[in-house]
């Protein structure tokens, strides 16, 4: 019997340094290009729900504080002014989404009145913002 000697004992090594460099470059890239989302200036504690979906389209946001004050942007307005403000913001785009961000301790009647004014002003699409259960305060 003939024995063949396997004299090839080369070990192939792969350097991890270029891989680690690329991972760090990708992390830096994503950190620098990430758009940090900031909420507008009115502080409300949103009610929590198990099934929430993020809204990705442009919308009109109406805030209701726990004291029952109504805001669009950082401007406090009355229910009467809300009608005219929403009417001008909605314009001819009846499909524009109106989001109501009401504090979880806000008086329910005030939130319902805001919804009613939004519908009267021509909002065909209306939703109330919630926060997913267990995510932040």
CATH topology of domain 48-132: Nucleotidyltransferase; domain 5 (3.30.420)
What is the model's pLDDT at position 124?
Answer: 81
Is-contact 70 64, C-beta < 8 A? yes
Domain range summary for the chain, segments of one domain joined by +: 48-132
Could you tell me the CA-to-CA distances from 69 to 6, 39, 52, 76 in Å, in that order? 85, 18, 25, 7
- The pLDDT, as a whole number, for residue 24 is 92
C-beta neighbour count of 3 within 10 angstroms: 4
- Selection from 104, 105, 123, 126 nearest residue 55 by Cα: 126
Distance CA 95, CA 115 (A): 16
The three-state secondary structure class of 31 is: helix
Residue 20's pLDDT is 92
Spans of the chain, pLDDT less than 50 = none
* pLDDT tens string 15-30: 889 899 999 999 988 8
pLDDT of residue 127: 84
Task: Taking each helix axis as running N to C, give the angle between helix 108-120 and helix 79-90, from 0 to 180 degrees, rounded to the nearest 10.
Answer: 40
* Structure tokens that stand for 121 in this block: 């002003």
Give the pLDDT confidence score for residue 25 in this predicted structure. Answer: 92
User: What does pTM read for this prediction?
Assistant: 0.56
Per residue in 6-16, pLDDT tens? 655 666 777 88
Q: What is the pLDDT of residue 3?
A: 66
């Amino acid at each position: 019997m003939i024995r063949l000697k396997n004299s090839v004992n080369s070990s192939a090594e792969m350097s991890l340094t270029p891989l680690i460099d690329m991972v760090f470059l990708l992390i830096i890239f994503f950190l620098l290009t990430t758009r940090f989302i900031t909420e507008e200036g009115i502080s409300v504690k949103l009610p929590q729900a198990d099934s929430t979906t993020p809204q990705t389209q442009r919308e009109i946001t109406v805030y209701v504080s726990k004291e029952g004050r109504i805001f669009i942007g950082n401007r406090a307005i009355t229910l009467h002014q809300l009608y005219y403000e929403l009417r001008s913001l909605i314009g001819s785009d009846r499909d524009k989404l109106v989001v109501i961000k009401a504090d979880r301790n806000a008086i329910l009647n005030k939130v319902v009145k805001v919804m009613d004014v939004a519908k009267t002003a021509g909002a065909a699409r209306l939703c109330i913002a919630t926060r997913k259960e267990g995510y932040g305060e």
